[in-house]
Each structure stands twice: as structure tokens, then as C-alpha cells.
Amino acid sequence: MSAGERSGGHPGRRRGRPRWWPGRAAADAHAAEEAERAAEEAERARCTPISKCAEGPAGRPVVSVTGTLRSVSERTVAGLPALAAELDDGSARLEVIWLGRAAIAGIVPGRELVASGRIAVTHGRPVLFNPRYQLRPLDKE
């Protein structure tokens, strides 16, 4: 006979604070916010400032940059659609181009993202072609 059956309760049910305890949701939300904030700070620490990328590092290593999309536009490159965006991290601006894409969900002006890839210099400006990217969560205000 289990403890739940001996006490007259339901089998398998634990005694104590109920699972739906009101303070639990607030505590879980606060812990999630703290974890997200810590992850963002760690991500920013691993990212290279765009101004350092523009210097053209030797060997074109893969870099990660983070910032806010200032503008997004559709273009054609060699007759193919391309989505161009300008990423600004406060130190400089970087052109980001996705070749073969006319639009990408979530890629809109004002959105923050982390992008990684190899920086190319085109017409004297740093450009990141077809980067891997991660959209940052939208601010909940």
C-alpha cells in the first residue's frame, strides 16, 4: 500500500504545495528573464564589434556580430533576388545580404539579431553574405 492510499488521498499524489501555486509562475518567469539576460550578455561578449570587422582581418575568419537592423530592402544581384539589410551595433554599420531571398520572416527594421559569417569588402564597404543568424527576442513592453 502506498503512502497516498494510507492517508486516504489519491495514489501518486504528493502532499504539500500544489503544482499551481500562484507564486511559482512569477518565480519561474523571473528566473527565465534572468537566464535570458545572462545569455544575451554572454552572446554580446563573444561578438566582434562591427568597427573591428571593417578593418579587414587577415585570413577572413568567421566573425559573429550583433546589432539592430536599420534598413531592409529587396534588390537583384546578377538577376537573382536578394534581401539587403544594414546592421548597426553602435560602432559601425555592416551590410548584410541574403542571396536568392526576396524576404525573410522577422528580418525587419528595428529588429535585433546576431549574425555570423565571413566579412567581404565590396566597393570599400564591409558586407556579410548569406550569414547564419539568430533573431533576438522582441522587447515586451
Q: pTM of the entire structure?
A: 0.66
User: What is the predicted pLDDT for the residue at 47?
Assistant: 87
Residue 36 binned pLDDT confidence (cut-offs 50, 70, 90): low
User: What is the predicted pLDDT for the residue at 113?
Assistant: 93
Please state the three-class secondary structure of 69-130 as a single string: EEEEEEEEECCEEEEEEEEECCCCEEEEEEECCCCCCCCCCCCEEEEEEEEEEECCEEEEEC
Mean pLDDT of the chain: 79
What value does the mean pLDDT take over residues 30-39? 64
What value does the mean pLDDT take over residues 35-64? 71
Decide if 71 contacts 86 (C-beta within 8 A): yes
Same domain assignment for residues 35 and 57 = no
Same domain assignment for residues 33 and 65 = no
CATH number at residue 54: 2.40.50.140
User: Domains in the chain: how many in total?
Assistant: 2
Range of the domain at 14: 3-44
Residue 141 inside a domain? The answer is: no
Residue 107 inside a domain? The answer is: yes
Residue 28 inside a domain? The answer is: yes
Mind listing the pLDDT tens digit for each residue in 88-117?
998 889 999 999 999 999 999 999 999 999
